[in-house]
Amino acid sequence: MNDVLEVKQVSKVFDGRRGVHQLDFTMERGEIVGFLGPNGAGKTTTMRMITGYLHPTAGSIAVDGISVHDQGRNVRSKIGYLPETPPLYPDMTVQSYLKFVANLRDVPTREVKLRISEMVSRLGLQGREKQLVRGLSKGYKQRLGLAGAIIHKPDLLVLDEPTSGLDPNQIMEIRDLIRELGENHTVLLSTHILPEVSTLCNRMLIINQGQLVLDGSPQHFGSAMGDQFKVSIEVKATEQQLHNVLTPWEEVRSEVIQAADGQASNGSADTVKMLLTGESSEDFREELFYLLSGAGLPILEMKKENLSLEQIFLKLTTTETESEVELATQETETDKVQLANHATDEEANLGTTSDLKQSTSSESASSDSHTGEGSK
């Protein structure tokens, strides 16, 4: 069996209110999975159940085939957990904190010294071993939290919003570290930052109101949602010529985005930009090409329009109507470039364009501690 994590029909009820409901998913060795959802969706609750800090009301969770709740002690050595606020002790030094965690995680005494020096060099903490935790910057605290989470060499690493509250440089550093850690660990990572998922994860899970609403690779989401195939084109033609050719095509709906009347401006030929939407997700570009070339209308540009991750996320996690999402997909080309799944590296690294954190629910709901159930 290659599954590191098995979450089976897991539910959590808090005082009669649903926290998560019948979650069902597995994670294979080596996967880096992004766990996404709006505030209050159930990400932290799920992560705390996986790491054994919270008991499910129903269902079961196993790591490497061992039940998290029946054999807590055996399984805890297999899991590394970084809560949103790492449980660091301000009066300890970096070194004494790592020693403390190593003992807590049952690292054999003879190996502790070596593991600490491995963690210090791997997480870039050299020169800070004797520094008090209280004097570390937020980025270095996060590094130390990560070091504490992996010092016992766990199979599964669970990271709750690991870049939250960091400045752009620190975000890039922590992401690089997570990417590196993903080479040796299976990682479940919760985040509100969509480009973080595109750059770090090969699979994502979206949760909304306690239920899993999507599971798959970021690239396959458009078709997984039964999306209609959309193409934007620019054609050297008049609106009337295009109308004559395209209107009889029943399977594809066309609408003009922009028409440039050549006669009125510089005397060059007319061009028209259109958005074409198919009845289904079937690719109709080849048919379109032959149709327009058969009519003697040159295609200057043809581009497949994908739903961006942001649009997919909104579609799945809000109650907005189909038509609102539809509108979003028909924004101007500039908007599309901004929103596109393929965010530039800079955007992806800085996460500035797509931080979807919604401010409506209480922040206090995500402040973790290791004190167990009901501590939030």
Ligand X SMILES: Nc1ncnc2c1ncn2[C@@H]1O[C@H](COP(=O)(O)OP(=O)(O)OP(=O)(O)O)[C@@H](O)[C@H]1O
Verify binding: residue 278, ligand X, rule CB under 6 A.
no
**Burial of 142 by CB count in 10 Å (0-12 exposed, 13-18 middle, 19+ buried)?**
buried
The least CB distance from residue 355 to ligand X, in Å, is 12
> Which is nearest to 357 in space by CA: 22, 111, 41, 31?
41
Verify binding: residue 55, ligand X, rule CB under 6 A.
no
C-beta of 45 vs 341, nearer to ligand X: 45
**Burial of 60 by CB count in 10 Å (0-12 exposed, 13-18 middle, 19+ buried)?**
middle
What is the DSSP annotation of 181-221?
HTTTSEEEEEESBHHHHHHH-SEEEEEETTEEEEEE-GGGH
Rounded CA gap, 26 and 80, in Å?
17
Rounded CA gap, 77 and 134, in Å?
27
Contact code string over 12-31 relative to ligand X, x by CB under 6 A: --x----x------------
Which span (33-41, 142-150, 215-223, 321-329) binds ligand X, by CB under 6 A? Answer: 33-41
Map the footprint of ligand X across residues 162-221, applying CB under 6 A. none
The least CB distance from residue 102 to ligand X, in Å, is 28
Q: How many residues bind ligand X (CB under 6 A)?
A: 15
Rounded CA gap, 360 and 298, in Å?
50
Q: Which of 37, 52, 80, 154 binds ligand X (CB under 6 A)?
A: 37
Q: Which of 71, 263, 344, 361 binds ligand X (CB under 6 A)?
A: 361
Q: Which of 5, 10, 41, 297 binds ligand X (CB under 6 A)?
A: 41
Rounded CA gap, 226 and 32, in Å?
25
The least CB distance from residue 42 to ligand X, in Å, is 4
- DSSP annotation of 167 reads -
C-beta of 14 vs 249, nearer to ligand X: 14
Verify binding: residue 223, ligand X, rule CB under 6 A.
no
Contact code string over 308-347 relative to ligand X, x by CB under 6 A: ----------------------------------------
Q: Which residue has the tokens 């979650």?
A: 23
The least CB distance from residue 311 to ligand X, in Å, is 20
The Cα angle at residue 266 between residues 264 and 267, in degrees rounded to 5 = 75
C-beta of 323 vs 360, nearer to ligand X: 360
Residues that bind ligand X (CB under 6 A): 14, 19, 37, 39-45, 361, 365-366, 374, 376
